[in-house]
Amino acid sequence: MQEITEISVIFDKLKADLEKSVGYLKTEFAVIRAGRANPHILDKVIVNYYGAPTPLNQMANISVADAMMLQVMLYDISQLHPVRKALSDANLGVNISDDGKVIRLVFPALTEERRKEIAKSLKTILENSKVAMRNGRRDAIDDLRQLEKDNIISEDETKYQEKEVQKMLDEYIDKLDVLYAAKEKEIMEV
């Protein structure tokens, strides 16, 4: 009975690690600009708000004005200049303008060269996620081998469970590949 509990703990930890990698990839892909206005591109913009680092999305209403423009309406209009500075420092590749009340972010059309650069950066993020997943697999297999060494499970059971770990990893890597293919298609669309 103990072996079943020990094995399920290992698989639960592995699944949590794999889910975390998928979540990381989704989050990173959400902030990558695909040529259309996407409010998530501002998720990582931090503004110095009265001395405290504050995410922009907590200081303003961010809306999509049209396919190529975001509007940022600040709750505290006195923060217009610090927000503009934070947006400039974030190096988002957008044109920033304001009328004293509303900040507009205009997304220029992506060139073919820029699309290829973005696709390359997507590949890097994908590989980082896969490496994290493989590290999770390695840890799970090490834990299984430790159970075998402690005589909690047999050598045959270890081999079987290692194959199950690999199956689970393959399923999650397939999920990553699907997310990557969809984002790459979105980026390369003209």
pLDDT digit string (tens) for 103-151?
998 887 778 887 888 888 899 999 999 999 999 999 999 999 999 999 8
**Bridge partners of 11?**
none
User: For residue 36, is pLDDT > 80?
Assistant: no
What local confidence, expressed as pLDDT, does residue 145 receive?
93
User: For residue 1, is pLDDT > 60?
Assistant: no
User: For residue 5, is pLDDT > 90?
Assistant: no
Q: How confident is the model at residue 33 (pLDDT cuts 50, 70, 90)?
A: low
User: For residue 2, is pLDDT > 80?
Assistant: no
| Exposed / middle / buried, residue 44 (Cβ in 10 Å: 0-12, 13-18, 19+) | middle
Helical (H) or strand (E) element with 113: helix 112-149
Determine the Cα–Cα distance for residues 129 and 28; give it in Å rounded to an integer.
10
Query: Mind listing the domains of the chain with CATH numbers?
Result: 2-31+111-188 (1.10.132.20), 39-106 (3.30.1360.40)
Q: Which two tokens stand for residue 139?
A: 């840890």
Determine the Cα–Cα distance for residues 27 and 24; give it in Å rounded to an integer.
5
Residue 124, sorted as left (phi over 0), alpha (psi -120 to 50) or beta, turns out to be alpha
The alpha carbon torsion through 37, 38, 43, 44 (nearest 10 deg) reads -50
Q: How confident is the model at residue 38 (pLDDT cuts 50, 70, 90)?
A: confident
What local confidence, expressed as pLDDT, does residue 50 receive?
87
For the chain, strand residue ranges (E) read 46-49, 52-55, 60-66, 69-74, 95-98, 102-106
Kindly list the distances between the CA atom of residue 6 and the CA atoms of 64, 141, 147, 150, 166, in Å, as whole numbers in the listed order: 49, 13, 8, 12, 18
Kindly list the distances between the CA atom of residue 102 and the CA atoms of 54, 117, 163, in Å, as whole numbers in the listed order: 19, 31, 56
What local confidence, expressed as pLDDT, does residue 134 receive?
96
Q: For residue 186, which of 53, 15, 38, 49 has the smallest C-alpha distance?
A: 38
What local confidence, expressed as pLDDT, does residue 128 receive?
93
Residue type, 147: L
What is the mean pLDDT of the segment spanning 157-169?
A: 94
Determine the Cα–Cα distance for residues 67 and 74; give it in Å rounded to an integer.
21
For 39-86, how does the pLDDT look when each residue is reduced to its tens digit (9 = 90+)?
Answer: 888 888 899 888 899 998 899 999 888 878 889 999 989 988 999 989
